[in-house]
Amino acid sequence: MKKVILFAQMIDEANLKKVLLLLPYYLKKEYLCEATIYVARKSAGVPDVYRGIPIIVAPDFASTIKKDKIWCDLYISFGFGYLTPVFPSELKEINPHCVTCFVTDHAADMSESIKPSLNYRFWHFFHKLVTFPLALERFPKEKRLGKAMFQAFDYYFTETESAYADIKKHRWLHVDVSQKLQILNMGYDDESLIEVDRFLSQSCQRNNVFLFTGIVGGLFKKSEVLLKALPLVKEWKDWSVVLAGPVKPEFQKRFDLLVKKRPELKRRISLLGNVASRDSLFALYRNSKVFFLTSEKESSSYSLVEAALLGDYLISTPVGIAPELTQNGKFGSLVPVGSPKSLAQAFEKVILHGVPPETVSHSTEIARAKFSYENIVNDCSVFQDALTK
């Protein structure tokens, strides 16, 4: 029987909700193979078996491979360090036909080297004074690691079309990996469609709500753009904004200052805090008309898939899979990063003219077809070759 191994540096309880961990589950389900997750460490709340997949802690994975003579036909690695290229090399010593894949978290891996988030002139000045000497010192080490990883891995996977284009243009750890680079979307849990369809079948009316789910004020979320956009919306009618997720203290301070200065906006925005129940989260999507995202960077942004599956109109910056789900704004609204005026205009357009039903249905169809994990693992030629031949 064929075998799949996924390796991650660290898994905590929050990581269990990450869609990457569904990859070995769906590979096992679709290809009838064995699957195991190895981690360097995991938090106390993480079970030893996740959806039938064993999670094995191996702080020294290279030694574990040698000692236990671990055999696999497909190896998938997520997260990198100086030992990352050692593991696939050790696995290939045992099975030369093992197919080795590295999944890049584009937002985390590439964000510092591609697009500075600060004003360019300030960033350039700061870069010269402080970071340039550090970069000169770091560059050869990074490039050595990049070359070693290029030799060790047969394929590089990235999650979105925009990430694919950026990596081809800017390289990965200073190395041209384009000949090994492929897009592998991180899909939704197909088994959750029963739950999604149950919510969609409920005969409840959608509310005039712009919804956000996630860490409010989190790194790269650019939530402050919303606070700047709110006063620019001239006509609200009966619309409101709901933010569901943990609220960062800095955002709370800015929010409190805004509603103190503009008290009439207090009834337009609600901070729900953390939504622990998945049913409650799905109900929020189902009962809202619009899902919006102001992020500066996202790897994939699974919340966009959930929103599309549950029939929300999408307003988003062009990050993650937003361009794919909206077909570059044709079936939704794409707004520039860091532009309160554009966000306010997108809100006003919906408030004044409503949500075109056909637009939402197109996004839903794209989400169901393109981001189904069953479809993704079945359509990937790398997986087919590794697990069927």
Residue 355 CA to residue 210 CA, distance in Å, equals 12
- Using pLDDT thresholds of 50, 70 and 90, give the confidence band for residue 139: confident
Q: Which residue has the tokens 């919006």?
A: 292
The pLDDT assigned to 69 comes to: 95
Please classify residue 36 by burial: count the beta carbons closer than 10 Å to its beta carbon, then call 0-12 exposed, 13-18 middle and 19+ buried.
middle
- CA distances 364 to 137, 167, 192, 293, 306, Å, are 47, 28, 15, 17, 9
Q: Are 375 and 29 in contact (CB under 8 A)?
A: no
Residue 336 CA to residue 65 CA, distance in Å, equals 47
The pLDDT assigned to 107 comes to: 60
Tens-digit pLDDT profile for residues 145-162:
999 999 999 999 998 888
How much is the pTM?
0.85
For residue 108, give both structure tokens: 């985390």
The pLDDT assigned to 299 comes to: 80
For residue 343, give both structure tokens: 């966000």
- CA distances 136 to 125, 130, 167, Å, are 16, 11, 21
Residue 314 CA to residue 345 CA, distance in Å, equals 14
The residues near 331 (Cβ < 8 Å, ≥ 6 apart) are 314, 325, 359, 360, 362, 363, 366
For domain 190-370, the CATH architecture is 3-Layer(aba) Sandwich (3.40)
Judged against a pLDDT cut of 80, whether residue 117 lies above it is answered with: no
DSSP structure string for 235-270 = --TT-EEEEES-B-HHHHHHHHHHHHH-GGGGGGEE
Q: Are 116 and 123 in contact (CB under 8 A)?
A: yes
Residue 28 CA to residue 84 CA, distance in Å, equals 24
- Cα-based torsion angle of the residue sequence 325, 79, 296, 209 in order, rounded to the nearest 10 degrees: 50
Judged against a pLDDT cut of 80, whether residue 135 lies above it is answered with: no
Per CATH, is 3-187+372-388 categorized as 3.40.50.80?
Answer: no
Tens-digit pLDDT profile for residues 292-318:
999 998 888 889 999 999 999 999 999
The 74-78 sheet, strands edge to edge: 49-50, 53-57, 34-42, 3-11, 74-78, 99-103, 155-158, 181-183
Judged against a pLDDT cut of 90, whether residue 81 lies above it is answered with: no
* Closest C-alpha among 87, 39, 79 to residue 63: 87
Residue 148 CA to residue 160 CA, distance in Å, equals 24
| DSSP SS3 for 167 | helix
Amino acid identity of residue 199, one-letter, is F
Mean pLDDT lowest among 116-120, 270-274, 284-288: 116-120
Share of the chain above pLDDT 70, in %: 91
- CA distances 356 to 214, 307, 320, 360, Å, are 25, 16, 23, 7
Instruction: Give the up-direction half-sphere exposure of residue 265: CA atoms within 13 A in the CB hemisphere.
Output: 19
Over range 62-80, report the average pLDDT. Answer: 94
Tell me where in the chain the CATH 3.40.50.2000 domain(s) lie. 3-187+372-388, 190-370
Tens-digit pLDDT profile for residues 32-67:
999 999 999 999 889 999 999 999 999 999 999 999
Pairing of β 288-293 and β 207-213: parallel
CA 218 to chain CA mean position, Å:
14
Tens-digit pLDDT profile for residues 329-371:
999 999 999 999 999 999 999 999 999 888 889 999 999 999 9
| DSSP SS3 for 9 | strand
Judged against a pLDDT cut of 60, whether residue 123 lies above it is answered with: no
Q: Are 256 and 230 in contact (CB under 8 A)?
A: no
Residue 320 CA to residue 325 CA, distance in Å, equals 10
The pLDDT assigned to 140 comes to: 78
The pLDDT assigned to 14 comes to: 72
Average pLDDT taken over every residue of the chain: 89
For residue 130, give both structure tokens: 């402080």
- In sequence order, the β-bridge partners of residue 228 are none
The pLDDT assigned to 301 comes to: 85
The pLDDT assigned to 2 comes to: 97
Decide which of 373 and 122 is more confident. 373
Mean pLDDT lowest among 265-269, 285-289, 354-358, 384-388: 354-358
The pLDDT assigned to 113 comes to: 41
Judged against a pLDDT cut of 80, whether residue 110 lies above it is answered with: no
Tens-digit pLDDT profile for residues 235-254:
999 999 999 999 999 999 99
The pLDDT assigned to 19 comes to: 73
The pLDDT assigned to 137 comes to: 54
The pLDDT assigned to 109 comes to: 63
